[in-house]
Chain A
């Protein structure tokens, strides 16, 4: 089985854990409190790795699997952290028609990760997004605040190289 446990090392601090434990102890007896606790945990850590889900599971006496089920049901929850460089590939209609699907696939190949994941060194994270309003430049991707347009699959390597130093 290919595990979905995040390959980026977990860097949670004691302060973050204390904050999470406080939230859980305040809310755990409320009915339906798992969702707000997960949201708060994501605010604290930026994502919901197994280490964080295990804390919630132990404290709330809810099986880890159940928490994982909720975390994967809602797309707003992330299992992986964002990288130092967050790459978003537009898969909106115009970009898609212009071949952004191939660009997205090439990025997955070069970075060795799937969409939604982060490289083990924490440098790059990759995600697909919908129209960013730059259809005239289709196909488009962004790296943090930088926008790259009129791309071909061959451009991808150079863009990654630029941020790799």
Chain B
């Protein structure tokens, strides 16, 4: 490919044609600050934070210096760029001062304080006076209508990262810029509350918001209160992906496994038992593999589509209501865990289930919606009482003054703390499929797998397909993550173009490791690193290290079926572990 030679801050740089100034500078180890820019998602050059002074060749000589948006401006031969001249810094500072003029500057109590991209830019660009421009301000009502999050437009900078991710990555588009000029705000159609729209609660908008304008509903206080209540037995489960993300809240590099420290921290927070959702991921596989085999053998509805991701389930109900029968009737691992805690575990330990407070730590915001669904829970009792995100756990640990980095590695409690390698990979796209295949293939063939690694379904590509010959039968599977990809895949199924028997869909791109409840990663890092891959690696390493890598070999699962549930798909299993869906409209 043709290379372009240019100078950045006087240094010679050579990059492929078509590279932007931002990318060229990054290759020379200069990170130009950005605000609205999200690679491949929001490339609109709107906020003007990334401006640089650029001179381009005009005939034989250099043309005049101009301020250009480096995120979208391509390099040209002989170009000279200055990324930090006084004029550049001054321009960025003015832009920030103008943004601040209508910004709710309650930074001290803001959930993003310390991790806010706007705050960091103001500090870096030496904005000395937050009140440089005082003028008309619009007071926006906070939108509390959704189960999982709130939107506070008083802190919105109109960067449109949230609307871009909602529309392009998730194919939903329930938020967008409405009105114009000073009156522009990011809201839903007809100013409906988010809870009235077909928002699926995935939280990808939260994950990309640079400020505190969008955040999950915080239930940390309720958890502290439950722990302090001596009449309550408070148990906690942690989803697979949390251990791959939580470390980022405490300065660890992306992709650090902090399982042991996380368990130690939860114990020090005062939870009575620290359990692992990996266990109920294994349970999900037992039920789902059984359901798959049953549907294949008895002419049930195919393709069977996984139901672990509540964002995906809600998406299916809104946008593909005709396909809800394809959804597995299995509850998600979070909900199965909750159901087992308030039945099997409560009986075994002799605790009244009404005295149990069941808390989950999830990389997900849709889990907050899921716990309140009408079709979950039993006898007026919720399966899970409080669902927290990874970020909320990070805040709890900080509030409690626990020195996370100094903690020893500790192990989960028995008996619901034992999970297999198949359970832990649930947190990455393709993981549920791989785990299900490990169990389904051995069940169908009656033979032990020579190799438990189904690598075709691994990786961060949006849509993956594979065909496996199992006991003389071709099993066609597909895996999609990110709902725009799911939509593309399902359209093919609907049109008859594809004839899969089994599909895994995760609402968030890359699966739960990149869930809407995971620590926010600054755009400056996101734009040049694949955080999905970095976090997923943690889970695949844990799988490899685990002595047990198949769900049906989990000893606790075996005992649960032998002493309580009977067999997969039994009446009791259905009562506790399966659910129903509804058809919803699009708004």
Contact = CB atoms under 8 A, between A and B. Distances in A.
A123 interface: no
Given A1-B193, A3-B190, A50-B190, A66 B176 contact: yes
Nearest to B177: A69
B145 A68 contact: no
A1 B173 contact: no
A115 B550 CA distance: 65
Interface residues of A, number: 19
A65 B188 contact: yes
Contact of B586 (A64, A68, A69): A64
B172 A63 contact: yes
A93 interface: no
A53 B180 contact: no
Contact of B141 (A1, A53, A58): A1
Interface string A50-86: 1001000110000111111100110000010000000
B24 to A, nearest CB: 32
Given A3-B192, A4-B190, A65 B145 contact: no
A65 B141 CA distance: 19
B189 interface: yes
A2 interface: yes
Interface of chain A, helix or strand or loop or mixed? helix
Contact of B190 (A5, A58, A66, A73): A5
Given A1-B145, A3-B192, A68-B190, A63 B176 contact: yes
Q: Which of B174, B178, B193 has the most chain A CB within a 10 Å cutoff?
A: B178
Contacts of A58: 586
A66 to B, nearest CB: 6
A68 B178 contact: yes
A64 B189 CA distance: 6
B192 A1 contact: yes
B180 A72 contact: yes
A68 B141 contact: no
Contacts of A57: 586
B52 interface: no
Interface residues of B, number: 24
A1 B587 contact: no
Nearest to B145: A1
Interface string A1-41: 11111000000000000000000000000000000000000
Contacts of B196: 3
A64 B174 CA distance: 7
A4 B191 contact: yes
B91 to A, nearest CB: 27
B562 to A, nearest CB: 50
Interface in B159-187: 167, 172-180, 187
Contacts of A79: 190
Interface in B174-219: 174-180, 187-193, 196-197
A64 B188 CA distance: 9
Interface in A111-136: none
A67 B172 CA distance: 13
A118 to B, nearest CB: 15
Contacts of A63: 167, 172-174, 176, 189
A146 to B, nearest CB: 31
Interface string B130-171: 000000000001010100000000000000000000010000
B285 to A, nearest CB: 35
Contacts of B192: 1, 3, 5
Q: Which of B178, B189, B587 has the most chain A CB within a 10 Å cutoff?
A: B189
Given A1-B141, A72-B179, A73-B179, A67 B193 contact: no
B68 to A, nearest CB: 26
Q: Which of A2, A65, A73 has the most chain B CB within a 10 Å cutoff?
A: A65
A57 B172 CA distance: 12
B256 to A, nearest CB: 38
Given A3-B191, A73-B179, A66 B145 contact: no
A69 B192 CA distance: 13
Contacts of B190: 3-5, 50, 68, 79
B178 A72 contact: yes
Interface in B436-487: none
A116 to B, nearest CB: 11
Contacts of B586: 57-58, 64
B143 A64 contact: no
Contacts of A73: 178-180
B180 A65 contact: no
B143 A1 contact: yes
A27 B477 CA distance: 38
Contacts of B587: 64
Given A73-B179, A73-B180, A65 B173 contact: yes
A53 B189 contact: yes
Nearest to B171: A63
Interface of A: 1-5, 50, 53, 57-58, 63-69, 72-73, 79
9 contacts: A1-B141, A1-B187, A5-B192, A63-B172, A65-B174, A65-B189, A66-B176, A69-B178, A73-B180
Given A3-B191, A65-B188, A65-B189, 20 more contacts: A1-B143, A2-B141, A4-B190, A4-B191, A5-B190, A50-B189, A50-B190, A63-B173, A65-B173, A65-B175, A66-B167, A66-B176, A67-B189, A68-B189, A68-B190, A69-B178, A72-B180, A73-B179, A73-B180, A79-B190
